[in-house]
Structure 1
Amino acid sequence: MLTAQDDLIGHQTPAPFATSGAGDARFTERYWYTAHPIDGSELLFDAGLGYYPNKDVMDAFAGLTIGRRQYNFRASRRLGGRPLETSVGPFRIEIVEGMKRHRLTLVENPSGISFSLEFEASFPSAQEKQNYRERDGLVEEDLARVSQFGRWRGWIVVDGRRFNVEPAMWWGQRDRSWGLRSEMRTDETRPPVATHRNFFWTWSMFQFETSALSIFLKERSPGKPHYLSGTEFKRESDGSVSHREVVAVEHRIDWANDPLGQTIANGDLTFQFDRGAPRQVKMHGLPTRFYLKAGMYGGLQGWTHGDDRGDYYAAHDVWNLDDPATREVARTLSDHVIKLESAGDVGFGISEYGVATGYPLYEGPQKFPAL
């Protein structure tokens, strides 16, 4: 199918833009963002958008955790003749300046959530190593990802409450990915549910005033990762930014006595780099999390990323995060706000993580799902 996008340059295959990844239905492009204050306020903003050209679908989610309540909005539309528009109903992403400045808006809608926010990069973007995986001779995942740190400006309204967002106080992260993604279905209402054994993983983004560090670690045996990608940025005295690549990481995690799921209390990480001295980072899990099930990660009550819900469809809800039934649905996958200490510097960031049954360490939390 031809669209207006085909009048622009940028084709990389002898096919229209509406066909991507050799026509594989799994081909996905995603945006993801978080924003959180660094003064201890129990607030966390999350948003994302998915583009599925071979399914003729775009979907999006946004929400805010306030204390122990999580407010959620999600929507889906068919691409039709508007594949260029990164918008779904009242939600829109604008790339004001690539790799530098993005604008996110959600106009008034029945969810009671609205916002106008601008992300400005605080460090350069980091390209992760290609995430390629085969199973039984078939490509299960082949994904490129870029991550970046930044500061936020604007406002958020939730349930009649307005929060002003200023860059000195609101730090955050974003990522951008494209390629073939494994579905990792965890929605019990739409089986079969994927089962996971014998691994630990974390995708974490740590930010300090003059440095930042992103890490993606997957391992089945402690100290022997089958996937490791990470970058450290440091702002030098002359204003330039240097970077090093992570080549190894050691971890020791203390898990909270959370009766409802996997929750990191504290952690010690030691990073080795391609050059220079190692770096130790202490993690302290703060109370605030946004559970990504609300954005259809793994599927939620029959709605999975890329599902065709018609020309336009939207839903919203509010989750009580102390409710056992809600947490059972939400499972583990979440953006967890983390306070950090490293060589006298204090920082903040986000950690996503999980440990599956059979991994030799961290047996306690394995009674809960890893994702």
Structure 2
Amino acid sequence: MLTWGDEYPIHQTPEPVWVAGSDRNFYDRYFFNGYSKDGAVFFAAAFGVYPHLNIMDGAFSVLKDGVQRSVHLSRVMHHERMDVRVGPMKIDVLRPLYSVKITLDDAEGISGELTFEGRHFPVEEPRFTRRSGSRMVMDVTRMTQNGRWSGWISVDGERIEVASDNFYGTRDRSWGVRPIGSQDPQPVLPQQLPQFYWIWTPLNFENLALYFHVNDDEKGKSWNTRAVLAMEGVDADGLLHLDNPEFSAEYDQGTRRIRKGLLKVTDGQGREHKVTYEPMSTFQMKGLGYTHPDWSHGLYKGEYAIEREDFKPGVMPWKEPSNLHIQAISKVTHEGPDGQSSTGIGSLEQLFIGPHEPSGWKDMFDA
């Protein structure tokens, strides 16, 4: 079967592009977030392609005045991976590795045209490889890039102007193998208590961007981490990879929600940098399909489906499994080795399931 992709020199196997290896859980995804410098407006989008499920889906969500308004979309893609449209939502790559555009044309009351422009060359995160027994659960590559947004959003007739001098954000591209679509009815034996400790924090300051993520095991040992500082406009060689990252957190009483965070890293000269995090508001990742009970990524919803969903993240119980995955819009302060400091803004993404010895957690959702 031939598709649009076969016209381009991108083949990596002897087969046509519509074939993506042999794992039914192969996926290819765009993720975006954006926010005003004061944190009053936060928006995010996800767009996924699942070649062996023959599904393409997307979501867009806006948080303003304590209310998160989301739209979910899904369609059968008929194996055409390069036609990146689902109903009124479309993704356009304007300049590879630099600029991407999102368009929504009246998606259940939500419209917009938003253009992302990177502030630096994308950061390639270390390959994520995770098994459950002998079964591969994650085998993923991701690139992450901080940038600026321009354009507009309209929600139920209210127009929000998005100007590049006032809106920062982040985008990532990830691909590989991870759980998608319907759950496997036959789990790996013997069954074990799930465990996942995930922090992902792309940050924007006036003159630089800073990136950090970590996956910890139940003992608190990181199995995947990276920290990078990027000055405005640097290319791949200009990315400053930071060493010895240590993240510590204080949690809201009786929860697994971070109320204050501290990152310590060292640069190539051994000098220490510190970043403090002060969360201001909460964005529910299920508004983009992550851990959503009905709109989980890759689920079959028929030939085409679209649905609007509104909720108030601030009053939703943290312990509900579908509410665990969040991004906390945070005020951040960077203290450099020369004694100077600068303030910025970014997202503090959190997903904590199961034991984590440094946090004192021993069960699935204890706090």
| Paired-residue identity, % | 26
What value does the CA root-mean-square deviation take over the aligned residues? 3.0
Question: Aligned match of 2:288 in 292, 295, 299?
Answer: 295
What secondary structure, in the 3-state scheme, does the structure 2 residue paired with 1:34 have?
Answer: strand
Distance 1:13 1:357, change over 3 A: closer
Offset, 1:114? 0.8
Offset, 1:183? 4.7
Distance 1:353 1:297, change over 3 A: same
Write the distance in 1 (CA, Å) between the matches of 2:355 and 2:310.
34
Say whether the 8 Å CA contact 2:249–2:260 is kept in structure 1. Answer: yes
For normalisation by structure 1, the TM-score amounts to 0.87
Summarize deviations over 1:149-204 as a string: whole Å, max 9, x none. 00011111112211101111110000000111135999xxx998x98556532011
Q: Which residue of 2 aligns with 1:16?
A: 16
For normalisation by structure 2, the TM-score amounts to 0.88
Q: Which residue of 2 aligns with 1:90?
A: 88
Distance 1:26 1:199, change over 3 A: closer
- Asked if 1:162 corresponds to 2:162, the answer is no
Offset, 1:367? 7.5
1:99-138 to 2 correspondences below 5 Å? 99-109=97-107, 111-138=108-135
Write the distance in 1 (CA, Å) between the matches of 2:77 and 2:181.
24
Write the distance in 2 (CA, Å) between the matches of 1:233 and 1:162.
32
Write the distance in 2 (CA, Å) between the matches of 1:333 and 1:369.
16
Question: Aligned match of 1:66 in 64, 67, 71?
Answer: 64
Write the distance in 1 (CA, Å) between the matches of 2:72 and 2:210.
30
Q: Which residue of 1 aligns with 2:312?
A: 320
Q: Which residue of 1 aligns with 2:272?
A: 278
Distance 1:275 1:182, change over 3 A: farther
Which range moved further: 273-282 or 167-176?
A: 273-282
Offset, 1:295? 1.9
- Asked if 1:342 corresponds to 2:334, the answer is yes
Letter in 1 for 2:326: S
Which range moved further: 149-158 or 324-333?
A: 324-333
- Unaligned runs of 5+ residues in structure 2 are 336-340
Write the distance in 1 (CA, Å) between the matches of 2:182 and 2:215.
18
Distance 1:262 1:114, change over 3 A: farther
Summarize deviations over 1:251-305 as a string: whole Å, max 9, x none. 2212234x7x532211111013455422111111112x2211122212423x321
Offset, 1:323? 4.0
Offset, 1:327? 7.7
Q: Which residue of 1 aligns with 2:223?
A: 226
Letter in 1 for 2:10: G
Write the distance in 1 (CA, Å) between the matches of 2:240 and 2:159.
40
Distance 1:352 1:3, change over 3 A: same
Offset, 1:25? 1.1
- Unaligned runs of 5+ residues in structure 1 are none
What secondary structure, in the 3-state scheme, does the structure 2 residue paired with 1:32 have?
Answer: strand
Say whether the 8 Å CA contact 2:46–2:60 is kept in structure 1. Answer: yes
Write the distance in 1 (CA, Å) between the matches of 2:4 and 2:247.
49
1:237-316 to 2 correspondences below 5 Å? 242-257=238-253, 262-287=256-281, 289-301=282-294, 303-316=295-308
Distance 1:183 1:249, change over 3 A: farther
Summarize deviations over 1:328-365 as a string: whole Å, max 9, x none. 36412122211111121111111111334431233489
Say whether the 8 Å CA contact 1:294–1:330 is kept in structure 2. Answer: no
- Asked if 1:177 corresponds to 2:171, the answer is no
Write the distance in 2 (CA, Å) between the matches of 1:71 and 1:327.
21
The total of aligned residue pairs comes to 358
Write the distance in 1 (CA, Å) between the matches of 2:67 and 2:193.
28
Distance 1:28 1:95, change over 3 A: same
Summarize deviations over 1:182-236 as a string: whole Å, max 9, x none. 35999xxx998x9855653201111211222212211236663121122221249
Distance 1:324 1:101, change over 3 A: closer
Say whether the 8 Å CA contact 1:235–1:241 is kept in structure 2. Answer: no
Write the distance in 2 (CA, Å) between the matches of 1:222 and 1:342.
28
What secondary structure, in the 3-state scheme, does the structure 2 residue paired with 1:13 have?
Answer: coil
Letter in 2 for 1:144: T
Summarize deviations over 1:70-103 as a string: whole Å, max 9, x none. 1010111111264311111000110000111111
